């Protein structure tokens, strides 16, 4: 699965039910599970070629309308599924509709076609073809389970469509020994469905842990804002050499925080930092990100912002920091100095932009308690 591809969420109610991954699963994990169902084209083509090959051999040995119809279904469904998957892989990479509902519908029709072929092979009395098609169906069912356990209901439905005709056809086969399928097939379907459900649960748990670990790695524990690693990733994403819009980086250094921290204690200082982080978050909203890169140093990265907009935002930051903080004690007011660097004028990577903004911040401190300075061109 390619994390850069975005696959469309299902729209049909039945397909949404099939792909449901359980309660309390975050949206990003649900989207990742849907993406896992598409897989890669070479592996997908291998399965299509296998089922078409079995149907072709059966049609050559038994050129009856039943087997010819099976071969035609496999050819039509196989070619259509390959084309739909190829389109989906391209569309997902460009943010277009991947027709997920159609993709899932074709997968179920293919499973039904595989089951149909196994069923008519048993009834035909050609035990060579019956053994070959049933063996292929069992292999396909195993592949369905381990390829689609991101959606256990879908896996169970496809396995039922492909395997249940074997049990039904065993009632009409001319060899009584095939009646054992009445016991084997339900047991196989149950055990594989349970396996798919458990694998799905393990996958969701693993994805939750990875997401939480990634969040801890890129977020400040105290304030919940991005840390240096998270800010670096954001700068690479929004301000890289291929970025299409200008960005502004505001480097903030609090004035008077150390005195409050030393006078009233670290719990009060932590409370102040968390309150300030909340205020800064309201300033960026959906236009950028906020980060804490040091004890009392914060950074705002704003997207699609001009120098004039950056100056206006710096003024709002100064006002927000100067607002009183609720506490049992009367806390002195804080000030803040702001150094501003613009991308791409002053750089497009983390180290360069931070260095240029830090230089501007140093010069801003000369200007007094609440001053702003831009990096030199």
pLDDT at 41: 78
Superfamily of domain 228-374: Reverse transcriptase/Diguanylate cyclase domain (3.30.70.270)
| Tens of pLDDT, residue by residue, the chain (377 residues) | 445 678 999 999 999 999 998 788 888 888 889 998 987 778 788 888 999 999 999 999 999 999 999 999 999 999 999 999 999 999 998 889 999 999 999 999 999 999 999 999 999 989 899 999 999 998 888 888 888 888 999 999 999 999 999 999 999 888 888 888 889 899 989 999 999 999 988 988 898 888 888 878 889 989 999 999 999 999 988 887 666 688 999 999 999 998 888 888 888 899 999 999 999 999 998 889 999 998 899 999 999 999 999 999 999 999 999 998 876 667 788 899 999 999 999 999 999 999 999 999 999 988 777 889 999 87
User: Can you tell me the distance from the alpha carbon of 72 to that of 63, in angstroms, rounded to the nearest whole number?
Assistant: 12
pLDDT at 12: 95
Which run of H or of E encompasses 208?
A: helix 181-218
The SS3 assignment for 319 reads: helix
User: Can you tell me the distance from the alpha carbon of 186 to that of 192, in angstroms, rounded to the nearest whole number?
Assistant: 10
The SS3 assignment for 348 reads: coil
pLDDT at 241: 62
pLDDT at 1: 44
User: Does residue 150 contact residue 206 with C-beta atoms inside 8 Å?
Assistant: no
For the chain, the maximum distance between any two Cα atoms, rounded to a whole number of angstroms, is 97
pLDDT at 2: 47
pLDDT at 176: 85
pTM above 0.85, yes or no: no
pLDDT at 39: 77
CB atoms under 10 Å from CB of 295, counted, come to: 11
Residue closest to 224 by CA, chosen among 289, 302, 303? 289
Q: Where are the domains of the chain?
A: 13-217, 228-374
Three-state SS string over 32-94 comes to HHHHHCCCCHHHHHHHHHHHHHHHHHHHHHCCCHHHHHHHHHHHHHHHHHHHHHHHHHHHHHC
Dihedral sign, CA of 210, 271, 260, 311?
A: positive
pLDDT at 273: 93
pLDDT at 242: 61
**HSE (side-chain half, CA atoms, 13 Å) at 306:** 2
Tokens for 309?
Answer: 């907009």
pLDDT at 70: 96
Give the contacts of 212 (CB within 8 A, at least 6 positions apart): none
């Amino acid at each position: 699965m390619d994390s850069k591809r975005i696959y469309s969420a299902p729209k049909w109610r039945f397909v949404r039910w099939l792909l449901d991954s359980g309660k309390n699963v975050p949206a990003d994990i649900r989207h990742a599970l849907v993406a896992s169902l598409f897989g890669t084209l070479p592996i997908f083509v291998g399965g299509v070629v296998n089922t078409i090959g079995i149907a072709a051999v059966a049609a050559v040995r038994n050129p009856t309308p039943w087997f010819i119809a099976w071969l035609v279904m496999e050819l039509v469904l196989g070619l259509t599924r390959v084309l739909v998957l190829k389109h989906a892989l391209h569309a997902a990479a460009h943010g277009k509709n991947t027709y997920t509902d159609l993709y899932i519908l074709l997968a179920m029709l293919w499973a039904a076609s595989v089951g149909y072929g196994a069923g008519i092979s048993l009834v035909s009395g050609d035990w060579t073809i019956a053994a070959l098609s049933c063996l292929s169906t069992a292999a396909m069912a195993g592949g369905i389970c381990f390829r689609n356990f991101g959606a256990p209901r879908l896996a169970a439905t496809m396995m039922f469509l492909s395997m249940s005709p074997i049990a039904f056809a065993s009632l009409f086969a001319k060899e009584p020994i095939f009646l054992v399928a009445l016991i084997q097939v339900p047991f196989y379907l149950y055990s594989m469905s349970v396996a798919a459900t458990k694998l799905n649960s393990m996958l969701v748990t693993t994805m939750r842990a990875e997401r939480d670990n990634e969040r801890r790695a890129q977020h400040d524990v105290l304030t919940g804002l991005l840390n240096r690693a998270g800010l670096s990733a954001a700068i690479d994403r929004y301000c890289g050499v291929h970025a299409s819009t200008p960005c502004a980086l505001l480097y903030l250094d609090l004035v008077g925080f150390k005195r409050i921290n030393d006078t009233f204690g670290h719990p009060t200082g932590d409370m102040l930092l968390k309150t300030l982080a909340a205020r800064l978050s309201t300033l960026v909203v959906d236009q950028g990100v906020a980060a804490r890169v040091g004890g009392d140093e914060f950074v705002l990265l704003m997207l699609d912002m001009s120098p004039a907009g950056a100056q206006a935002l710096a003024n709002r930051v100064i006002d927000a920091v100067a607002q009183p903080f609720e506490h049992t004690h009367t806390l002195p007011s804080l000030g803040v100095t702001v150094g501003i660097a613009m991308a791409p004028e002053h750089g497009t990577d983390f180290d360069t932009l931070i260095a240029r903004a830090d230089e501007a911040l140093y010069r801003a401190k000369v200007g007094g308690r609440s001053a702003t300075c831009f990096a030199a061109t």
